[in-house]
Every structure is written in structure tokens, then in C-alpha cells.
A and B are shown apart, each in its own frame.
Chain A
Amino acid sequence: MSKVIIIDDEPLARSIVKEYLQQHPQLELVAECGDGFEGVKAIQQFHPDLIFLDIQMPKINGFEMLELIEQPPSVIFTTAFDEYAIRAFEAHAVDYLLKPFNQERFDRALAKWADNKTPASEAVTKELLATAAQSPAQNNRIVVKNGSKIKIIPAHDVFFLEAADDYVKIHTQEGYFLKNKTMSYFEQVLDAQQFVRSHRSFIVNVQQITRIDPYEKDNHVAILRTGAKVPVSRGGYAKLKLVLGL
């Protein structure tokens, strides 16, 4: 008996998956979720073997939800997204079902899953998440998990980012949040006109900078509105000058 969860914000979209699942009595539907928050909770509670996941959902999308789960189960995407947008995930997800789909197509996706039911290796999971990070509409916010709570930080609320071992510290008004990502990931994802990698271990929100002072020989330091000081390397100074139009 394998456990299955459906995560989709449209009730009818959930009901069609439920209907198709009736042909597969070996699968037990343990939860139905209408958004990503419920999804995270249900996955932590039930540890399903397979989830059917919609991409466009309230508050956090399917990709962002996956990022919040340390060991994601196997994923079959169900989406009306156009094929090109979803094709990138094909290699990492079990399959993707383009809405509307019929029972036959659904059964084929399940057969594909049953064929490689070895638990998703960490490498595959990581790749899925890396691909998810490149999905659109994520450059203006960062979704983090704060204890059991999920927090969405709009990009303009971020003061600066700081490397901390395997994590990145996201400094905001409310203190800092940790996210298991690399600096180069954020450098790539965030808007380059607003976020500049001023230093190997720092990315700064240029809208927060009040002045840039010289510091030691070749280096500078950026003073933020909050008074925080962010190191600026020689290369970082050149990049900042470019963005600030100096």
C-alpha cells in the first residue's frame, strides 16, 4: 500500500485525480490539500510515497513548496502550464500531466512511477530543487521556513544576504532567516539591478545603502539605513558603481 497526496487549489482538479485513482486500489489517498501550506503540513505528517502537485497555487507555488521539504516524495506535476515551461522538470519529476488529461495518460504516469520506485535519491531531489529555483516569478520573494511556520519575504524587504556555511542568512527588519541555498543561487535568482554581490560572502540590496566608505587598503564598506555594515571587495565596488551609475 502506497500513500498519495493531492495538492491543487481547484477542487474539481483534485476530484478528477481522485476519480482516476479509484482504478488503483493499491494507492491510498491520505490527504487532499488546497494550497502549499497545507501541502507542507500534510507531507510532514503522512510521509507520502507520491504527490500530485499543481504549480500555480495560492501564496506559494508548487516549486516553492517543494523547496521547503527536506526529503520530497516522488512528484507528478499536474498543470495547465505550457509544455515548455514544464519540460525542464521532466527529468527530475516522475512525470508531468498537462491538464486536461485522461485516465489512460494518468495510468501511464503511475506505471512510470511504479517502474522506478526506488526511493528518490538525494541527487535527483537536489536537481529537482535546483531546477525549481529557476522557475519564473521567484525573483521577487524568498520563501523560508521559520520553525514550523512558512514565511514569505518580499525581495525589497531584504537588507542583505550573508553566507553561513551551508546556509545563507537573510537579514531583514525582523532579524535573519536561514535558507539552505548557495550565494551564487541568490545572485542568479534575485534582480541584478537591486541585489549586488558586493563580496564573496555578501549580497547587498542597493536600495538600502546610504553611503559607501573606504575601508583598509583596497576595500570599502557599505553602510545601510539600519546602520549595518556590509563589506565591499574591490570587484564588488566596481559592480556597485555600475549599478548605482557612479
Chain B
Amino acid sequence: MTASPFSARRFLIIFSIAWLVLMMDHALLFYWFDFTLQVAVVDSVISNLLLLGICLLIMNTIRYYLPGREQFMNILMMCVALTLIWLFVVKWLLSISITGIDDYNSFLNKSLIIRFSIGILVVGIVTMMSINWFTWQEQKATEQRKTDAEKLAREAELFKLRQQLQPHFLFNSLNSINALIGSRPAEARKMVQQLSDFLRGTIRKEETQWVTLEEELQYLQLYLEIEKVRFGNRLSTEVNVDPATLNLRLPALLLQPIVENAIKFGLYDTVGETVIRLRTRVADQELLVEVSNPFDPETSSPQKGTGFGLKSVQRRLYLLFARADLLQTEATDHTFITRVKVPQPTATPDK
């Protein structure tokens, strides 16, 4: 249920003060018209307490039945009807509670039109205020729902992006292990261990989690070891890490797809040995990671390298940072370079 405006303490205070002012003003006016203080106070209290009752009724009604855009005519009619009812009740109550004063009854009859004007003004203001308040409340709830839904969708999408990368690598690794079991059982065992650690890392880490570069590199190392067993002498790596970057943060599992893409691109686009180079440094307070692989410019267009692997990285960076310029690729002579920039979280790292 949406919160009543009285749940805001400040509103309750202002509302009460406004009502007291209204009552005092009413009484003072009557006193000034030469009625006795008693008559002035009784008239004011009866009129305004009843009006307060009407207003509370309206607020409560709108709380449960928020009118739509097309219902303003009905609202106006309701205000008029309630004010009229209020007016008749006030007249009846006043005529039986204040007796023995000559001028009062004729004054009461003459003042009805003014009482109605003030009544409809107050009722109208309270109605409008209530509609605004509860519409705002509803909008806030809708907004919240939308944000929640987007967050869920984003998490699901990130999860899916990760999942799509695994099977091919997994099956080929298992095939390598299968081959090692016969010839080199000790190495098979080692590879089972590495593969398990790698997979556990994938499962355990959440997509929105941040890790230090050092952790991410350890994880990457597992991946590289496995790939080196698979491809033998054809694959080697050169990792060049600026010590200043080791404690910088990045979203978990960000680098692995980039390196995977570089390995695939390098290994499948050339027939010789493939050296994958990874370099990190700090640039403009952002972490910069550069991964390069050889390619053959004669047979492949550079955009071919931005295959599925990089597209998903780009999408992920966009979802996390709402920036499309964080992943860039460059093809020079025989080298394809992927650069990723990671803005550093401020004081409190995003969970």
C-alpha cells in the first residue's frame, strides 16, 4: 500500500498548523464582526472540524482509488457535493448550538455563499494535493519495479554471455586430458586440477563482482596453462605487468574472453608459432590492458577478429559502465591489438 502523506512528519506538522491558522482566522474574523468570543469560537470549531473530516475522507478515498486522467469531472462533482453536504450539516449544527442571538440566524443565511466558497477552495486544494502525492507515490513504485526488472535482465544477460564461451574449450580440454591419461598420466592429473580450478573460478564469481588485477591474472594463468597443453609448441605467451596495476580493480572474468579471442584469432589465422602478449599499465587513472596476437592481413579483414568473444566483452562493459568506448581494437602490420580500459571504482567499490 502506498504511504499516506501523514507518514511524512513534516507534512503532518504543516497540515496541522495550516488547520489551526484556518480556525483562528475564522474565529478572529467573527470576533471582529462583533460576535461574542464564544460564538466566534463555536462557529469556527464546528465549521472547520467538519471540514477537516471531509478532507480526511477525501485523502483516504484517493489513497485507495487514485483517479485517472479522464476522471477530473467526477472529482470536481465530488468536491462540490461534499462541500454542499458539509454546508448543510454546518448550518444545521450551528442553528441548534447557537441560539438567543438576534442577528446570528440571518447572518448565517447570508454567509452561506462565502462559507461555500471557502469550503470548496479548501476541499479543492486538499484533493489536488492528495492526487499529486499518491500519483507521485505510484510513479516511484513503478520506477522501482522498472529498475529491479532491468537489473534482473542485466544479470541474466551477463550470465548468458559467459555461458556461451565455455563448451568448445571444455570439450577440447577433456579430449587433451583423455590423450594424456594413456601417455603421461601425471600431466593428465595436473591438467584435471587446472581445469577444475578454472571452472570453479568461473562458477564462483558473480558477473558484477570486482576483483584485483592480481587475482584476475592468476585465474588467467590457469586458462593459459590449459591452452598451452592443448596447442603445444604453437602457443606461447608474454605477460608484462606494471606492478602499479596489480591492486587496481576490474570486473571478474573480464580478461579471459579477450585472451581467448586473441588465442583463437592468432592460432587459427596463422600456421606458425603464435605469441600472445599481454601488457598492463595505468592511464588517466584507468586500468589499461593490452592484448596482442599475430594475424595475416592478407587473408583476414580486421573486423573478423572482433568475433563473438569481443562483442560480448563490449556488451558487458557497456552494461557495467554505460560506455561504448572502453574496448578498442587496432590492426597494425601483422599484429592485432585489443585494448580494454577499466574505470576504477571510487572509494566504495561497486559490489
Query: Given A15-B179, A16-B179, A140-B301, are A9 and B270 also a contact pair (CB < 8 Å)?
Result: no
Query: Given A12-B180, A152-B299, are A100 and B171 also a contact pair (CB < 8 Å)?
Result: yes
- Taking a contact as CB atoms under 8 Å apart, the answer to whether A154 and B301 are in contact is yes
Query: Given A16-B178, A19-B179, are A35 and B271 also a contact pair (CB < 8 Å)?
Result: yes
A13 within 8 Å of B (CB atoms): yes
Q: Interface with B: A44-52, A53-61, A198-206, A233-241, which one?
A: A53-61
Instruction: Name the CB-closest residue of A to B191.
Output: A12
- Taking a contact as CB atoms under 8 Å apart, the answer to whether B230 and A12 are in contact is yes
Chain B positions 61-100 with a Cβ under 8 Å from a chain A Cβ: none
Query: Given A100-B178, A154-B299, A156-B301, are A12 and B268 also a contact pair (CB < 8 Å)?
Result: no
Chain A positions 97-118 with a Cβ under 8 Å from a chain B Cβ: 98-102
CB < 8 Å: which of B176, B231, B304 contacts A140? B304
Give the chain B neighbours of A102 by CB distance below 8 A: 178
- Taking a contact as CB atoms under 8 Å apart, the answer to whether A59 and B182 are in contact is no
- Taking a contact as CB atoms under 8 Å apart, the answer to whether A10 and B176 are in contact is yes
A3 within 8 Å of B (CB atoms): no
- Taking a contact as CB atoms under 8 Å apart, the answer to whether A154 and B300 are in contact is yes
Complex Cα distance A82/B178, Å?
Answer: 18
Give the chain B neighbours of A56 by CB distance below 8 A: 168, 268
Instruction: Name the CB-closest residue of A to B233.
Output: A11
Query: Given A16-B178, A16-B179, A154-B300, are A59 and B270 also a contact pair (CB < 8 Å)?
Result: yes
- Taking a contact as CB atoms under 8 Å apart, the answer to whether A11 and B232 are in contact is yes
Complex Cα distance A205/B180, Å?
Answer: 49
Complex Cα distance A82/B172, Å?
Answer: 11
Give the chain A neighbours of B299 by CB distance below 8 A: 59, 141, 152, 154
Complex Cα distance A59/B294, Å?
Answer: 13
B240 within 8 Å of A (CB atoms): no
CB < 8 Å: which of A80, A100, A154 contacts B168? A80
A37 within 8 Å of B (CB atoms): yes
Chain B nearest Cβ from A128, distance in angstroms = 22
- Taking a contact as CB atoms under 8 Å apart, the answer to whether B167 and A99 are in contact is no
CB < 8 Å: which of A9, A15, A19 contacts B267? A9
Complex Cα distance A196/B296, Å?
Answer: 28
Chain A nearest Cβ from B234, distance in angstroms = 8
- Taking a contact as CB atoms under 8 Å apart, the answer to whether B271 and A58 are in contact is yes
B174 within 8 Å of A (CB atoms): yes
Complex Cα distance A102/B232, Å?
Answer: 22
B183 within 8 Å of A (CB atoms): yes
Number of B residues near A (Cβ < 8 Å) is 29
Query: Given A12-B232, A16-B179, A140-B304, are A99 and B172 also a contact pair (CB < 8 Å)?
Result: yes
- Taking a contact as CB atoms under 8 Å apart, the answer to whether B301 and A59 are in contact is no
Complex Cα distance A100/B172, Å?
Answer: 7
Complex Cα distance A15/B182, Å?
Answer: 10
Instruction: Name the CB-closest residue of B to A59.
Output: B271
Of B229, B267, B268, B296, most A-chain CB atoms within 10 Å: B268
B269 within 8 Å of A (CB atoms): yes
Give the chain A neighbours of B231 by CB distance below 8 A: 9-11
Instruction: Name the CB-closest residue of A to B176.
Output: A12
B175 within 8 Å of A (CB atoms): yes
Complex Cα distance A143/B300, Å?
Answer: 12
Query: Given A11-B232, A12-B229, A56-B268, are A19 and B171 also a contact pair (CB < 8 Å)?
Result: no
- Taking a contact as CB atoms under 8 Å apart, the answer to whether B269 and A99 are in contact is no
Instruction: Name the CB-closest residue of B to A8.
Output: B175
CB < 8 Å: which of A11, A16, A37, A82 contacts B271? A37
Give the chain B neighbours of A101 by CB distance below 8 A: 175
- Taking a contact as CB atoms under 8 Å apart, the answer to whether A100 and B304 are in contact is no
Give the chain B neighbours of A59 by CB distance below 8 A: 268-271, 296, 299
Known: A12-B179, A19-B182, A80-B175. 15 other contacts (CB 8 A): A9-B267, A10-B230, A12-B175, A13-B172, A13-B179, A16-B182, A56-B168, A58-B269, A59-B268, A80-B167, A82-B167, A98-B171, A99-B172, A100-B174, A154-B301
A sample of 24 inter-chain contacts (CB < 8 A) reads: A10-B175, A10-B176, A10-B231, A10-B232, A12-B232, A13-B176, A15-B179, A19-B182, A35-B271, A56-B168, A58-B267, A58-B270, A59-B269, A59-B270, A80-B175, A82-B167, A100-B174, A100-B178, A140-B301, A141-B299, A141-B300, A152-B298, A152-B299, A154-B300
Instruction: List B residues at the A interface (Cβ < 8 Å).
Output: 167-168, 171-172, 174-180, 182-183, 229-232, 234, 267-271, 296, 298-301, 304
